[in-house]
Structures are given as structure tokens and as C-alpha cells.
Amino acid sequence: MPLLLKGVLRVLLFAGLLAAALWAVQAFSDARWLHPMVWWLLLINTLLAVGIQLLVDYGVHYRRGSFQIFYLGGSVIRLFISALVAFAFIYMGTPALETFVLNFFAIYLIFVGFEIYAVLGNLRSDSQRGLN
């Protein structure tokens, strides 16, 4: 399997597990604290994570020595796009704004935490093989 697809599949698997957990919470409990737009937030963050993963993988495997630029650039891109998405939802008049903001930050932080974990895991294995 090409190395670039390995990270993308990892992100998609993580997003699928998170979607299953959100569905279980919504189906089997009184999920008043889950906003109806939580599925859109999950989709947007999944697409961002896939894009960032492709960008970082490109930087690690094809531009040796410039991993930091790609990783930090991806983080800044994620931050700006996420802020634009949040402001767009708020501008459109999303109901239950407090719940939306809590869901937005929770999903954002979960994906950022996963991204950090995945990137650090890749760095460990890459440095042992001598790729960095």
C-alpha cells in the first residue's frame, strides 16, 4: 500500500470510530448536548484531517527536511478553515449556539489530538528508519 494512503486510511478509520461513538450517544441516550449540526462538523473535520494528512505525508516523504513547515502550515490551515466554518455557521443563525460551540471545539480538539498522536507515531517510526 502506498505510504500516502496509509495515513488517509488511518484518519478515515478514526473518523468512522468517532461517528459510531456519536451515533451511539445519540441513539441510546438523551443527547440534548449533541447539536444537530454535529454530523456536518464531523464531515468538515474529517475532510480537513485527510487534507492535512496528505500535506504532511507529502512533506515527510518527498521534501525531506521540511516536515516542520508542512506540519505547522497544515495546522495553521486547519485553524483558519475551522474558524471560517464556525463563523459561517454562527452567521447563518445556527440555533442552540452554546451547544454548537461546545460540539465544535470538542470535535476540533479530538481531531487535533489524533493528528498530533498520528504524526508523532509516524515520526518515531520514520526516525528509526532514517527518513528524517
Please give the pLDDT value at position 126. Answer: 52
Please give the pLDDT value at position 50. Answer: 92
Contact present, 8 and 50 (Cβ < 8 Å): yes
Angle, in degrees to the nearest 10, between helices 3-28 and 38-62: 160
Higher-confidence residue of 55 and 5: namely 55
Q: Tell me the pLDDT tens digit for each residue of 11-50.
A: 999 999 999 999 999 989 877 889 999 999 999 999 999 9
Please give the pLDDT value at position 4. Answer: 62
pLDDT range class, residue 121, cuts 50, 70, 90: low
Q: Find the DSSP H helices in the chain.
A: 3-28, 38-62, 67-91, 97-129
Pick from 70, 72, 60: nearest CA to 123: 60
Q: Cα–Cα distance between 10 and 26 in angstroms, integer?
A: 24
Which residue pairs from 91-95 have beta carbons closer than 8 angstroms and sit at least 24 positions apart in sequence? 94/35, 94/37
Mean pLDDT computed over every residue of the chain = 85
Q: Work out the average pLDDT over 107-126.
A: 79
Lowest pLDDT segment from 13-27, 29-43, 54-68, 104-118: 54-68
Please give the pLDDT value at position 30. Answer: 78
